[in-house]
Amino acid sequence: MSKPNDLVQGTLDLLILKVVALEPMHGWAVAQRLRQMSKDVLQVGPGSLYPALHKLEQQGWIRSEWKLSETQRRVKFYSLTAAGKKALAREADRWDRLSGAISVVIRAPRRKYERTTADNAKA
Amino acid sequence: MSVQLLTTLKLRCRSLFCRRQTDEELDTELENHLDFEIQNNLESGLTEDEARRAALRSMENLLRVRERCRDVRGLNWLEDFCADTRYGLRSLWHNPGFAVTAVVILGLGIGSTTAVFSAVDRLLFRGMPYASPEQLVSLGFRLPTMHYEFMFAPAYRAWQRETGSFLRLGAWMGAAPCDLTERNPIRLNCALIDANLLPTLGVMPQLGRNFTSDEDGPNGARAVLISYAFWKGRFGGDQLVPGRLVNIDGAQSRVVGVLPQNFELPDLGQADIVMPQALNVADPGPGVPLHVIGRLSPDISLEQAKWRLRSLVTDFVAHAPAFLRSQVHFSLEPLVQIQTPSARRSSIMLFGSVWLVVIIACANVGGLLLARSASRQREIAVRIALGAGRMRLLRQALTESLVISALGGMLGLALTFILMGGFRRLAPSGIWVRDAASDLDRSLPFQVKTMQSDIHDLADRARLEAALLLFFGVTALLLAGVGTYGLIAFFVNQRVPEIGVRVALGARPNQIVALFLKQGLSMVLIGATAGLIGTALALRSVAGMLFDVPSFDPLVISAAVSVSVAAGLLATLIPARRASRVDALVALRQD
């Protein structure tokens, strides 16, 4: 199980933006959806979730609105703003590049890597 | 980006001003989360009790969640700051002696520095507002008593024809009071210049045009240029002002242009209205004395120019009135040098004094703070024991200093305004910006009082400089006195229980006074010795600014030292006498 603290800095923001982009939803639903979508791998507790939501709201990437839920209770719903939409595309791009680069590095064949460093040492 | 910034700002303001509401909303949000979690657990088959317990476990530390959300909103930082400020104000309130001393010291330091800095700013840190000022020279004749060159009109015209040395010559006659005689009549400062002066200086009117040579003639249409400030104040910066008529000293004149904002006369003077000299060419007499500014041809040096002009000089001297002939001598100097030697050097001296005053103020406040923090070790130890972090304590100490500085700054600002007013009254017109009233509200009929005294009168300037230096001396003495007083008073307060014990054991008031006097005296004597060494070092650089006065005058120096020592002793004596009146019973009950 991966805790958000172990995630690359800023990744939680990206995940939240992505989930909120699907439809306006409240905090608990964001965590739940994230968990479902990641097949129970990504579990975000309120201690990370709400500060992140509030920060994104401060940044103007998501906006909040108090609405009545299906069970007639006042719930704070978050939805993506236009700026958030742009940020999502940008962050997703960045993530692709970053994760791609990380995969390349950690999947590199061991022998090939050793040879290269040996060559470098000779040169 | 700016929309984003606005959102953040809006939310921050909301967090700040509707704090309770945002806090309640956060609580509701977290409660909702808990309820959704319980509901979810129930649906997955747990009993109500189990569901609740599991949900609570998953909520982590609710308080921490709340704190982190508030951190995100930038609230905690602000709250800490407010709390520190309140705490700082409270502790100052309980320690009025320290607070007043520190604030007064800072106020005096900041006030005097700001005032003098505003005054010397133009001279030290800004160049002349003319094109290629290094080519500009001031030329004419000098009498031993004057320190500005003059020339009579016929000579000026003759020299204008001597082409080759100068690209151009321009003349002006200094500023004098004049009256705007129309609705809301006011007194203004009018300068007379000829049509050549602005082109010589390389100054273009910001709006409209310069005088034509016809307008500069004796029978030309009356035309004036107005200053930028006058244009803004009287005409509200109206673009259509050129062409308007104004009535000056009872005569209709047409405004032909507006001078640039940074325009100043070659003597640093300011004028509201600039009028043509309109010299009568046919006038056979010497006429009024003019100041002449020339722009040297690019390939001509000062010496070459002097050489080329020698026959004109001889001619002038030969035709000069007999009483002048033996005393007058020709002078051709760069304009920069005319402005600088007196003004710039004294500005540097004043600026140096300003720094000294600032250093004294800082050292005093630093000493007071140090003494105070030493006495607060117990309080700080308690706070650390209660879990205050080092950063937090540091921040609190800094916030307290900030409170003191802010109060000192306010006092300083008030002092600056008073001092600037005083400086203006002392200053010969032309050295400093004019009447502050005109800056405040230009719609009111204001009166600008100009000093009648001659701008170029050396004595005036020297008197002003002496007054400013005296002011600094008194400020520094005052600062040193207040600082010593504050420190000794603080020591006395610290040692009240000890004094109580001494009194109870039979110490007489005189002995108590002597105790503190000894402490103060040793401080003062060490200071005086350091001061004498400093004086010895400074004398050499001051020597160049003194005329007919020996730089080393034992009488002056011993008087200065005596005054300083006396001030230091007085500052010690007051708290020491208070110490001697400590009531043993009261003092011993204190702890």
H, E, C per residue of B29-43: HHHHHHHHHHHHHHH
Coil, helix or strand for B212? coil
DSSP string for B275-328 = EE----TT--S--SEEEEEEEE-TT--HHHHHHHTHHHHHHHHHHS-HHHHTT-
**Are A19 and A44 contacting, i.e. CB atoms less than 8 angstroms apart?**
no
Q: Do A60 and B3 touch (CB under 8 A)?
A: yes
Fold topology of A4-122: Arc Repressor Mutant, subunit A (1.10.10)
Q: Do B64 and A46 touch (CB under 8 A)?
A: no
Question: Residue B80 is encoded by which pair of tokens?
Answer: 């800490």
Candidates B36, B76, B78, partner chain A, best to mutate (most A CBs within 10 A): B36
Predicted local distance difference test score (pLDDT) of residue A9: 60
User: Which residues in B lie closer than 8 A to residue A27 (C-beta atoms)?
Assistant: 29, 32-33
* φ, ψ of residue B585 in degrees (nearest 5): -65, -50
> Distance (Å, rounded) from C-alpha A98 to C-alpha B273?
69
Tell me what ipTM this predicted complex has: 0.81
Quote the DSSP letter at residue B211.
P
User: Which residues in A lie closer than 8 A to residue B37 (C-beta atoms)?
Assistant: 28
Q: What end-to-end distance do the CA atoms of chain A give, in Å? A: 44
User: Which residues in A lie closer than 8 A to residue B40 (C-beta atoms)?
Assistant: 32
Helix (H) or strand (E) holding B194, with range, is none
> Distance (Å, rounded) from C-alpha B345 to C-alpha B137?
20
**Are B350 and B465 contacting, i.e. CB atoms less than 8 angstroms apart?**
yes
What average pLDDT does chain A have? Answer: 83
Name every residue whose Cβ is closer than 8 Å to that of residue B29 and which is 6 or more positions away in sequence.
A26, A27, A50, A76
Predicted local distance difference test score (pLDDT) of residue A62: 93
**Are B293 and B136 contacting, i.e. CB atoms less than 8 angstroms apart?**
yes
> Distance (Å, rounded) from C-alpha B465 to C-alpha B473?
12
Single-letter amino acid, residue B450: T
Name every residue whose Cβ is closer than 8 Å to that of residue B471 and which is 6 or more positions away in sequence.
B112
- Number of Cβ pairs closer than 8 Å across A and B? 70
Q: Which one, of B310, B352, B299, lies nearest residue B332 by Cα?
A: B310
Please return the burial class of B480, using the count of CB atoms within 10 Å of its CB with bins 0-12, 13-18 and 19+.
buried
Give yes or no for residue A4 having a pLDDT over 60. Answer: no
Predicted local distance difference test score (pLDDT) of residue B447: 34
> Distance (Å, rounded) from C-alpha B7 to C-alpha B4?
5
> Distance (Å, rounded) from C-alpha A78 to C-alpha A20?
7
Sign of CA dihedral B260, B266, B267, B272: negative
Coil, helix or strand for B505? coil
- Number of residues that this document lists for chain B: 591
Single-letter amino acid, residue B443: S
DSSP string for B425-442 = HHSPBTTB---HHHHH-T
Helix (H) or strand (E) holding A73, with range, is none
Give yes or no for residue A117 having a pLDDT over 60. Answer: no
Local confidence pLDDT in tens for the 591 residues of chain B? 566 677 777 777 776 667 777 888 888 888 889 888 898 899 988 888 988 888 888 887 777 777 777 777 766 677 778 888 888 888 888 888 888 888 988 998 888 888 877 777 766 666 778 888 888 988 888 877 666 678 888 888 888 887 678 889 999 887 788 888 888 788 888 998 989 999 999 999 999 999 888 888 877 888 999 999 899 988 888 898 899 999 988 888 999 999 998 888 887 777 899 998 877 655 656 667 788 999 998 888 888 888 888 888 888 888 777 777 778 888 888 887 766 655 666 677 777 888 888 888 888 888 888 888 877 788 888 888 877 777 778 888 888 889 999 999 999 999 888 887 776 665 544 443 643 333 433 333 333 333 333 334 445 556 666 777 787 888 888 888 888 888 888 888 888 888 888 888 888 888 888 988 888 889 889 988 998 898 888 777 766 666 556 667 788 888 888 998 898 888 888 888 888 887 777 777 765
CA angle B295, B290, B136 (to 5 degrees): 15
Q: Do B73 and A58 touch (CB under 8 A)?
A: yes
Quote the DSSP letter at residue B150.
B
Q: Do A54 and B40 touch (CB under 8 A)?
A: no
The minimal CB distance from B36 to the residues A28, A47, A60 is found for A28
> Distance (Å, rounded) from C-alpha B227 to C-alpha B229?
5
User: Which residues in B lie closer than 8 A to residue A50 (C-beta atoms)?
Assistant: 26, 29-30, 33, 65, 68-69
Q: Does A45 contact B at CB distance below 8 Å?
A: yes
The minimal CB distance from B3 to the residues A54, A58, A83 is found for A83
Distance from the A102 Cα atom to the nearest Cα atom in chain B, whole angstroms: 30
Predicted local distance difference test score (pLDDT) of residue B441: 39
Residue at token pair 């439809």: A23
Give yes or no for residue A16 having a pLDDT over 60. Answer: yes
Q: Do B11 and A55 touch (CB under 8 A)?
A: no
Residue at token pair 């109870």: B504
> Distance (Å, rounded) from C-alpha B189 to C-alpha B136?
25
DSSP string for B446-483 = -------S-TT-HHHHHHHHHHHHHHHHHHHHHHHHHH
CA separation, residue B544 to residues B129, B345, B521 (Å): 29, 10, 35
Coil, helix or strand for B74? coil
Q: Which one, of B230, B240, B215, lies nearest residue B446 by Cα?
A: B230
**Are B296 and B137 contacting, i.e. CB atoms less than 8 angstroms apart?**
yes
Distance from the B60 Cα atom to the nearest Cα atom in chain A, whole angstroms: 7
Predicted local distance difference test score (pLDDT) of residue B216: 84
User: Which residues in B lie closer than 8 A to residue A75 (C-beta atoms)?
Assistant: 32
> Which residues of B lie closer than 8 Å to A, measured between beta carbons?
3-4, 6-8, 11-12, 25-26, 28-30, 32-33, 35-37, 40, 58-61, 64-65, 68-69, 71-74
User: Which residues in B lie closer than 8 A to residue A73 (C-beta atoms)?
Assistant: 32, 35
User: Which residues in B lie closer than 8 A to residue A74 (C-beta atoms)?
Assistant: 28
User: Which residues in B lie closer than 8 A to residue A57 (C-beta atoms)?
Assistant: 11
Q: Which residues of A44-71 are buried (b: 16+ CB within 10 A; e: fewer)?
A: bbbbbbbbbbbbbbbbbbbbbeeeeeee
Coil, helix or strand for B46? coil
Residue at token pair 């003092």: B587
Helix (H) or strand (E) holding B541, with range, is helix B509-543
Question: Residue B155 is encoded by which pair of tokens?
Answer: 């000579």
> Distance (Å, rounded) from C-alpha B161 to C-alpha B448?
39
User: Which residues in A lie closer than 8 A to residue B73 (C-beta atoms)?
Assistant: 54, 58
Q: Which one, of B300, B341, B291, B251, lies nearest residue B153 by Cα?
A: B291
Helix (H) or strand (E) holding B349, with range, is helix B335-375
CA separation, residue B160 to residues A112, B257, B448, B527 (Å): 88, 25, 36, 61
Q: Do A50 and B29 touch (CB under 8 A)?
A: yes
Name every residue whose Cβ is closer than 8 Å to that of residue A74 and which is 6 or more positions away in sequence.
A66, A67, A68, B28
Give yes or no for residue A114 having a pLDDT over 60. Answer: no
Single-letter amino acid, residue B160: Q
Residue at token pair 């040692």: B495
- C-alpha count within 13 angstroms, C-beta hemisphere, residue B240: 0
Q: Does A50 contact B at CB distance below 8 Å?
A: yes
Predicted local distance difference test score (pLDDT) of residue B424: 64
Q: Which one, of B335, B239, B345, lies nearest residue B292 by Cα?
A: B335
Quote the DSSP letter at residue B253.
E
Predicted local distance difference test score (pLDDT) of residue A10: 72
Question: Residue B69 is encoded by which pair of tokens?
Answer: 């959300």
* Residue of chain B whose alpha carbon sits nearest to that of A61: B4
